[in-house]
Amino acid sequence: MDSFLRILFSSLETGSFYALAALGIIIIFRTSVIQNFSIGAIGMFNAFIATYILMEWGVPTWVAAIIAMLVAIIVGIVIDFAIMRPSKKVTRINKEIMTLGLIIIFIGISPMIFGVLPLKFGRFIEGSMKILGIHVDYNTILNISIGIIVMVLFVLFLQKTKCGLAVRVTASNETAARLMGVPSKNITTAAWAVGAALSTLAALMLAPRITVNTAMMNGVQVNALIACVLGGFQTFYGPVIGAYVISLGRNVLIYYLPHLGIEWLDSSWADPILYLLILLFIVIRPNGIIGKKIIKKV
C-alpha cells in the first residue's frame, strides 16, 4: 500500500510536467495546425534564464520563475512574429521542421550565454509532511497542485470566456473564424506565448530533480508528444489525460518490473514496454483515448 501511494504521488508529479508540456503542444497544434517539436527546447532555454536570475540577483525562487515565464511569453511572441507569420506559403510539415531549427538554435545558444556547467535550480518550498503514513515533500504537493490548477483554469478559460471561445473557433476552422471576425492571427500568437510559458513552468518544476542542462527536457518532450497521440489531437483535455496515464504506467512499470522475478527484466525496460503497450493501443484505437473519428471525404 505504501509503495502504491508513493507511486501515485510520484506519477501525479511527473504527470503534471508531461501534462503542462502536452498542453503547450496541443494549444499550438490546435491554433496553427503544426506539431511543435521545440516546446521542450523553449522551456529549457527559459529554465536557464530563471536559474541565471536566481543566482545573479538573489531573488526568491518563485520570482525567478515568474520572470522566466514572462520572458517565455516574449519568446513565444517573437517566434510567431519572426518565423510563423512570414511563412504563409510554407507547408505544414515544413513549418514543423522550422521548429526543429528552433531546437538547434536554443540548444546552441544556451551554453553560449550561460556556460556549459550544469546549474541547479532550487525547489519552491522545502520540507515534507506525512500523508497516509508516507512522507511527501511539500514541493511534490505544490507541483501536483500547480499542474491540476493550471489544467482546471485552462479548461474553464476555454469553455467559459469569450477569448476561450475565440480559441476554440480558431481551432476548429480558421478560415471560418476569420470570416466571423475572430482575430485568429492574434489568437495564434497568444497560443505560442501560452505554450512557451507552460513549457517553461514544466521545466522549472522538473529542474530541482535534475540539473539545468540542454538535454533536461528531452524526455518530457517525447512523452508529451506521445501523450498527445495517446489522448488524441481533437480535444484539449485528451492529451492531459494521456500525460497522466503515461506517467502512471511508467512509474508502475519501473517499480514492479524488478519484482517480477525475471533476472534480466530490470526497470530500464519500463520505457520500451510502455511504448510497446501504447503502440498496441494506437493500433487498436487509432484516434487515441478521447479521439473522435475523423471521417475522410474522398
Q: How far is the CB of 198 from other proteins (least distance, A)?
A: 20
- Whichever of 100 and 125 has its CB closer to other proteins, that residue is 100
- CA dist 278 and 253 (Å) reads 13
Question: Which one, 211 or 287, has the nearer CB to other proteins?
Answer: 287
Q: What does the binding site for other proteins look like in residue numbers (CB under 8 A)?
A: 35, 37, 83, 86-87, 89-91, 93-95, 97-98, 100-105, 107-109, 111-112, 218, 221-222, 225-226, 228-229, 233, 268-269, 271-272, 275-276, 278-279, 282-283, 286-288, 296, 298
- For other proteins, the closer CB: 54 or 220: 220
The CA-to-CA distance between both ends of the chain, in Å, stands at: 54
Nearer to other proteins, 103 or 205 (CB): 103
> In the bound complex, what is the minimum distance in angstroms from residue 248's beta carbon to other proteins?
18
- By C-beta, is 102 or 241 nearer to other proteins? 102
Least distance CB 167 / other proteins (angstroms): 20
**Shortest distance (Å) from residue 296 CB to other proteins:** 8
Answer yes or no: are the C-beta atoms of 41 and 161 closer than 8 Å: no
CB of 38 or CB of 61, closer to other proteins: 38
Nearest distance, CB of residue 98 and other proteins, angstroms: 5
Distance in angstroms (rounded) separating the CA atoms of residues 295 and 262: 45
139 CB contacts (<8 Å, ≥6 apart)? 123, 124, 125, 126, 208
Tell the smallest beta-carbon distance from residue 257 to other proteins (Å): 13
Nearer residue to other proteins within complex by CB, 12 or 225: 225
Task: For the CB of residue 93, give the shortest distance to other proteins in the complex, in Å.
Answer: 7
How many residues comprise the chain? 298
Please say whether the beta carbons of 26 and 19 come within 8 A: no
> What is the C-alpha separation between 16 and 276, in angstroms, rounded?
23
- The answer to whether residues 291 and 241 touch, using CB atoms and an 8 Å cutoff, is no
For other proteins, the closer of residues 9 and 37 by Cβ is 37
Q: How far is the CB of 220 from other proteins (least distance, A)?
A: 12
